[in-house]
Structure 1
Amino acid sequence: MAEDSPLDGILPETESDSNCDDAIDWWSILSDKTFLENPYSELRRLQAKGPVHFDRKNGIYFVLGHKAFARVSKSSAMGRDTRNWTGGWNSEDYRQHDPVGYMLFSEFQPQMINSDGEEHKRMRKVYEPAFRAQAMSRLEPLIADQASRLLAAMPDKGEIDFIEAFAAPLPLRVLCELFDIPESLDDTISRWSASLIRIGDILMTPEQKSEAMEALAEFKDFLRQQIKERENNNEDNLMGLAIQAQKNGTLDEEETLTNLVSMLVAGHETTVTLIGNGMLLLLSNPDELARLRSDPGLTRTAIEEFLRMEPGGNMILRVAREDFDVEGVTIPKGAPVIGLIGAINRDPGRFENADALDIARPANAQFTFGGGAHFCIGAPLARLEAQIAFSRFLEKYPQIELAGEPEWRLDRMNARGLGRLPVKVKAAA
C-alpha cells in the first residue's frame, strides 16, 4: 500500500463471495516503479487468476476481464458519483483522516464525470454539440495549422524530444484555441493541468494535494473572470456553451467552472499520452510503421490500436449504485470498482494476438475512453488530433528512429504516459 493512499485505513473490510486472494497486495503491485514502466506481464498474471478480484484490505473490486468490464461500464447499476462510495472521501472518517484531500475532492466534485443519472445527462448535454461530427470537421483546419506551426519550428535533421516538441504542445494549443485562451498563458495552463491530473491518484503526496487545491482555485478564478468578460460575446465555442448554460440556469457557477477545468485538464493529458505512446509503439514496431507509411488510410485504425495497446489511463473507476452481479461475483451497493485498462485492452479472450501491434485490427473494442453513459465526451477530438498529428509528422519526416531510452512518468499511478521520447529525425530532401 502506498504511504499516502487516500484509501488506506478508511475503507471498511467487507466479506464477499468474489475471487478474493489475500496474498495479492494490490496497491504495492500497482504503484511499483517496475510495474509502472511496463505493467503488462504482471497484469496478465493477475488476469489469469480471474476476471474480477476483491481486495479485502481496502474493500475494492478490480476488474481485469474485457467481458466483465463491458458489463460494468454499460450497466446503470454502476455509476461515477464517488459520494456514493461507502467509506470513501465523502465520509466523516475521511474528512478527519485527510482534511485537505476532503476539500480537494469536494471542490472537484460538481462535474459530469462525477455525477450519474439525470444530473449527469443535464451537464453532458450542454457540451455535446461541441464534439459532434460537424463541429469536428470545422476544427480540422485549426488542428492542422497548429501542427504545421510546431513542425515548422523543428529541425530538418537531428534529435528532438517528441513529447516536448510535439506531443505535449499540440493538444494544449488546440484546447486553448477552442477556449480562446491566448498563447501567452500556455505555461500557466500547463502548470495547472499537471497539478490537477493527479487528483485521485494514491501516489499523491500531501504537498501535491495542497498544490492541486491552489491550482484549482487559480484555474477557477481565471475562468470566472473569462466568463465575466465574455458573457455578452455570444461565442460559438466551448466557453460560449458554458456561458449560455450558466445564464439559462442549466448549470450553476460551480458546475460551469469545474466542468471547464476538467475538460481542459483531461483533454490535454489524454491526447498527449495518445500521441506520445502511439509514436513509441510505431518506433518499437518498424514493420507497422512502414505499413502505415505505405497505406496512410490505416491511420484511423492505427489510432484505435494505439489506444488499445498503450492506454493513457491505467484505471477507470465505477461505484455500485445497487448490488450487482458480474462473472459470479456480487458487488455490493456502495463498493468501488476499478477497471485495470491495460489488462482489459489486452484480454486474450477478446483480442487475437493481444500483445501484438496490428494497425489494421478490425472491431477494436478497446476501453481506453471508458464505456456506457460516461464514455469520454472528448474522444472525437482526441482521435482527430492524433490522426492529424501522425499524418503531418510522418509526412515531414520519412526517417524516424529512437535516439535513446524513452522515459515513462513514474510519479503517478492513474495516468500512463511518457515524460520524454528522444527521437532522431530526417526530413525529405
Structure 2
Amino acid sequence: MVDTLGTHFNPLAEDPYPFYAQARLEQPITFCPELDVWLITRYADIQQVLLQPEVFSSRNTLSSSVTFYPQTLEALIQGFLPVPIVLNSDGEDHRRFRVPLMRAFAPARIRALEPYIRAIANRLIDGFIADTHADIIRQFAYPFSLEVVLQLLGIPSHDIEKTRVWSHDWLTLMSMQLSVNEQVACAHSTVAFQHYIAELMNQRRVSPQDDLISTLLHDSDEASFSENELVIMIQGLILAGHESTTNMIGTGLLLLLEQPERWQNLCLYPAQIPATVEEILRFDAPIQMFARVTTRTATIGDITLPDDASLLLIYGSGNRDAAAFPNPDTFEPKRSSNHHLAFGHGPHYCVGAALARLEGHIAFDVLCQRLPQLRLVPDQTLSHIPTLLFRGYQQLDVAWT
C-alpha cells in the first residue's frame, strides 16, 4: 500500500488537532498501518458510518490492542469473560440491551437525581474549599462523576473507594501495555470487581431497590440477560459513566480558566452553562474515537473498503470540521447550533447523554456559585491520560482566595 498520512497518526498525542485538520484536507479517509485501521476524519463521513450499522458493525468497539501474558489470561478466566453488550452489538442483540437501558435512563428518572447530584457537588467542595487550592480533577471531577453513576446503579456508598480502584485498574489493564506483574495485578483487581458486581446482583434479586441494577434484573420483559452479560454490562456502565464525565468537567474547566474572562462571564450568567457544556463537548470531546468494522465491501467518499476492514471514527476531528461548524477551531461558549458527535449518532447514540449533560450543568453551576474566584495555578505541566478511547487531563491544579 502506498504511504498514507495515517502512518503519522499518534492516537495519544497531547494535541491531535493539527493532524486531524491535515487529514480532513488531504486524506480524510487514511490508513494507519500501526493500528491496522482506517481513520475516518470528516463529520459527514462519520455520520454516514454511524447511520449504517448493518454495513459498519460495532462488534469491535471494545477491542483492545494490549497483548496479555499467559499469567494474565489465567487470572482473567477466574472472572467473567468479555461478551457483546450494548456498545459492541448490532441489530436485535443491540436492541435487546438498549431497550432496558433506555428505561433505566428515562428522563424522569434522571431529573429525579438532580438534588442528589447537587448535594454530591457541594459536599465535595466543602471538603477542600478551606484549603484555597486543589487538584480539581482528583478532588472534584473524578469523585463527583463516580458517585453519581454508582448512586444510579445502586452501589453502596461505603464501597465507592474500592470501586474506584477496581475501575481504574480495569481501564489501565485494557489501555496500557504493562509489565507482567503490573498486568497480573490489574487482572486480579478486575476479577474482584466482576465478582463484587455478581454478588451485588444476587442481593438485588432477593431485595430489589430503586436502582439500575434492580431495573435490569426485574424489568426486562424484552431482555433475557445471562449473568455474564449483566456483569460485563454493569462493569462497562461504571467505567464509561464516570470517565467521560470526569474528562468533560476537567477539560471544560481548563478551557474556561485559561481565559479568565470566560469563567467570570459564566459565573455572572449561569444561564449560559448548557450551551457552554455543549461547546466543551464539541471542542475537545471526552471520547475522541470509536471503532467500527465493515461487514462487506463498502464505500465512504471515494474510498472503497474491503470486508472486515477496521475503522476508527475520529469524533474529535469531525467536531472540528468546518463543513459542519463555523470557526471550528475557536471555542465559542455561545455557539447557537452545536450538533456535535461527542455522544455519537444514530442507533448507538449514548443512552447516558441526558445524565452526562445534567452532571455537567450541575457541576459548573455549583462551582460558579461556590468558587467564583477560581483560577489556574501557573506554570503547571498538563498531560492527558494515556488511553485511546478517553481524552482528559490527569491533573488540573487550581486556586482561589
TM-score (norm 1): 0.84
Matched, 1:392 2:366: yes
User: What's the counterpart of residue 68 of structure 1?
Assistant: 45
User: What's the counterpart of residue 189 of structure 2?
Assistant: 215
Matched, 1:370 2:352: no
Query: Which of 75, 90, 95 does residue 116 from structure 1 map onto?
Result: 90
The separation in 2 between residues aligned to 1:187 and 1:205, in whole angstroms, is 23
User: What's the counterpart of residue 388 of structure 2?
Assistant: 413
Matched, 1:46 2:41: no
Q: Is contact 1:95-1:102 (8 Å) kept? A: no
What SS does the aligned partner of 2:374 have? strand
Q: Is contact 2:72-2:184 (8 Å) kept? A: no
C-alpha displacement of 1:169 = 0.7
How has the CA–CA distance of structure 1 residues 23 and 309 changed in structure 2, closer, same or farther, with 3 Å as cutoff?
Answer: closer
The separation in 1 between residues aligned to 2:179 and 2:90, in whole angstroms, is 29
Counterparts of residues 214-233 of structure 1 (less than 5 Å): 214-233=188-207
User: What's the counterpart of residue 204 of structure 1?
Assistant: 177
Q: Which AA in structure 2 matches 1:333?
A: D
Q: Which AA in structure 2 matches 1:414?
A: L
The separation in 1 between residues aligned to 2:42 and 2:71, in whole angstroms, is 33
Query: Which of 125, 148, 166 does residue 140 from structure 2 map onto?
Result: 166
What SS does the aligned partner of 1:48 have? helix
How has the CA–CA distance of structure 1 residues 398 and 131 changed in structure 2, closer, same or farther, with 3 Å as cutoff?
Answer: same
C-alpha displacement of 1:156 = 4.4
Matched, 1:177 2:155: no
Query: Which of 18, 26, 30 does residue 11 from structure 2 map onto?
Result: 30
Q: Give a deviation string over 1:22-71, Cα, whole Å, max 9, x none.
A: 464245x334xxx2x22222322233213211235654110111111111
C-alpha displacement of 1:367 = 1.0
How has the CA–CA distance of structure 1 residues 324 and 248 changed in structure 2, closer, same or farther, with 3 Å as cutoff?
Answer: closer
C-alpha displacement of 1:363 = 2.0
The separation in 2 between residues aligned to 1:387 and 1:396, in whole angstroms, is 14
The separation in 2 between residues aligned to 1:283 and 1:95, in whole angstroms, is 41
What SS does the aligned partner of 1:418 have? coil
Q: Is contact 1:245-1:251 (8 Å) kept? A: no
The separation in 2 between residues aligned to 1:355 and 1:296, in whole angstroms, is 24
C-alpha displacement of 1:116 = 0.7
C-alpha displacement of 1:273 = 0.4
The separation in 2 between residues aligned to 1:116 and 1:150, in whole angstroms, is 40
Q: Identity of counterpart residues, as a percentage?
A: 25
How has the CA–CA distance of structure 1 residues 159 and 249 changed in structure 2, closer, same or farther, with 3 Å as cutoff?
Answer: closer
Query: Which of 59, 66, 77 does residue 81 from structure 1 map onto?
Result: 59
How has the CA–CA distance of structure 1 residues 302 and 141 changed in structure 2, closer, same or farther, with 3 Å as cutoff?
Answer: same
How has the CA–CA distance of structure 1 residues 23 and 50 changed in structure 2, closer, same or farther, with 3 Å as cutoff?
Answer: closer
Q: Which AA in structure 2 matches 1:30?
A: P
C-alpha displacement of 1:108 = 2.5
User: What's the counterpart of residue 144 of structure 1?
Assistant: 118
Matched, 1:423 2:401: no
Q: Which AA in structure 1 matches 2:59?
A: D
Q: Is contact 1:347-1:354 (8 Å) kept? A: yes
Query: Which of 296, 304, 314 does residue 322 from structure 1 map onto?
Result: 296
Q: Is contact 2:85-2:233 (8 Å) kept? A: yes
The separation in 2 between residues aligned to 1:271 and 1:23, in whole angstroms, is 32
Aligned residues: 396
Counterparts of residues 309-348 of structure 1 (less than 5 Å): 309-348=283-322
Q: Which runs of 5+ in 1 are unaligned?
A: 1-14
User: What's the counterpart of residue 108 of structure 2?
Assistant: 134
Q: Give a deviation string over 1:333-390, Cα, whole Å, max 9, x none.
A: 2111101222211112221111111111122121122222111221111111111000
Q: Is contact 1:79-1:320 (8 Å) kept? A: yes
The separation in 1 between residues aligned to 2:294 and 2:56, in whole angstroms, is 5
Deviation larger for 338-347 or 101-110: 101-110
Q: Give a deviation string over 1:272-319, Cα, whole Å, max 9, x none.
A: 101111111101233332332232111111111111111112321111
The separation in 1 between residues aligned to 2:59 and 2:194, in whole angstroms, is 21
The separation in 1 between residues aligned to 2:311 and 2:71, in whole angstroms, is 22
User: What's the counterpart of residue 3 of structure 2?
Assistant: 21
What SS does the aligned partner of 2:134 have? strand
The separation in 2 between residues aligned to 1:206 and 1:336, in whole angstroms, is 28
Q: Pairwise CA RMSD of aligned residues?
A: 2.9
Q: Give a deviation string over 1:141-160, Cα, whole Å, max 9, x none.
A: 11011111112222246211
Deviation larger for 44-53 or 384-393: 44-53
What SS does the aligned partner of 1:330 have? strand
User: What's the counterpart of residue 6 of structure 1?
Assistant: none
What SS does the aligned partner of 2:113 have? helix
User: What's the counterpart of residue 236 of structure 2?
Assistant: 262
What SS does the aligned partner of 1:384 have? helix
The separation in 2 between residues aligned to 1:247 and 1:66, in whole angstroms, is 37
User: What's the counterpart of residue 8 of structure 1?
Assistant: none
The separation in 2 between residues aligned to 1:400 and 1:99, in whole angstroms, is 44
What SS does the aligned partner of 1:369 have? coil
